[in-house]
Structure 1
């Protein structure tokens, strides 16, 4: 039976939802307790969207957290809820950076945890769902991954490219150093000649 790249996303979601069902954890996060309305700001929004624990983004977040902390997903459910409630799918990029000690993640060298390096949105949204302009609906354009923004994960090619660039920079720096050394030698020789004549 032929499988596509996108089958791994359904498998990831199915595995996590099966574990949640086995643990008796509901697939929709209960809404947080409403905060007391602030009399100073009556227009403050106290509504929070429900979190779907069967979505690919939530399953990715809970898997990342469980793998990083070496725990079961049951211990990371509330953290994944809070992440998606606060930051949405783009919060996965922030989580990935935080798990790498706050360093920015270069998705050309590191595989994206959400799209696994394909660069497209794995949920394959329509233009209407993605909120594209109406004139783009007929252009047949791709929807880049909201986490890695469509970066190509080709670490071997980019590593060779970066090594070539570094070798060029090193050659330029060596040439500049030799030129400066020659200039210093000429200046030193002239100053020596002046001091010996006087």
Structure 2
């Protein structure tokens, strides 16, 4: 039986197999050093290494390839740049950008990183993430850094939204009827025929 966590492993395996077959290394080369900025002498020139065998990178390159209808190898530099600049949280920005800048409601759209489970799919520990000591106890969940733990249940949230829309529509109809009645009374007063003498 295939579990959700098996999907993550399969995604990584598929992408790394394609990269290996194309001769693309699984670690991104370091970016060229930036020219020193004379206005900011404390600027860091530290380059964040990008591991192409992680779930985040595999998700980013797959999202880009699917969106642009290209092969994975064409999107390698873009995925490198995204994770180097924004890290895992950059996947949420990428997802929004691919939807033409519209915010993504993860209650209706399955999160591309955690596949809708709402937790960090890498199963990292508090020590790995650096949680404060007071949070390092049983039951402390690590929510997904992309969807921030939104509960993917479109069938439940759709009913709730339909009920809200029905309430709004009923209120609008009632207001419209009230306004129509008021408009009629004003019209009749303005258009009363004055008696002719």
Structure-2-length-normalised TM-score: 0.92
Aligned equivalent of 2:94: 95
10-19 or 152-161, which deviates more: 152-161
Whole-angstrom distance in 2 between the partners of 1:75 and 1:86: 19
Q: Which residue in the other structure is 2:173 paired with?
A: 174
Q: Count matched residues.
A: 196
- Tell me what 2:159 maps to: 160
Matched residue SS, 2:104: coil
CA 1:196–1:62 in 2, change beyond 3 Å: closer, same or farther? same
1:187 aligns with 2:186: yes
Query: 1:157: how far off?
Result: 1.8
For the residues of structure 2 that align with 1:49 and 1:188, how far apart are their CA atoms? 72
2:119–2:142 Cα contact (<8 Å) kept:
yes
Q: CA RMSD in A?
A: 1.7
Q: Which residue of 2 aligns with 1:85?
A: 84
Tell me how far 1:98 sits from its aligned partner.
1.3
Q: Deviations over 1:11-70 (max 9, x none)?
A: 111111111111111111111111122233221111111000001000000111111112
Q: Using the TM superposition, give the Cα deviation of residue 197 of structure 1 relative to its aligned residue in structure 2, in angstroms.
A: 6.5
- For structure 1, list consecutive stretches of 5 or more residues without a partner in the other structure: none
State the distance in 1 between where 2:190 and 2:18 align.
81
Cα shift at 1:192:
4.8
Partner of 2:3: 4
Cα pair 2:89 2:145 within 8 Å, conserved: yes
The equivalent of 1:26 in structure 2 is 25
Distance 1:197 1:179 in 2: 30
- Deviation per CA, 1:112-139, whole angstroms, max 9, x where unpaired? 1111111111011111222322112114
Contact persistence 2:4–2:115 (CA under 8 A)? no
Distance 1:61 1:182 in 2: 57
SS of residue in 1 equivalent to 2:17 = helix
Q: Counterpart of 1:48?
A: 47
Determine if contact 2:28/2:80 at 8 Å carries over to the other structure: yes
In the other structure, the counterpart of 1:125 is 124
Q: Which runs of 5+ in 2 are unaligned?
A: none
TM norm structure 1: 0.91
SS in 1 for 2:87: helix
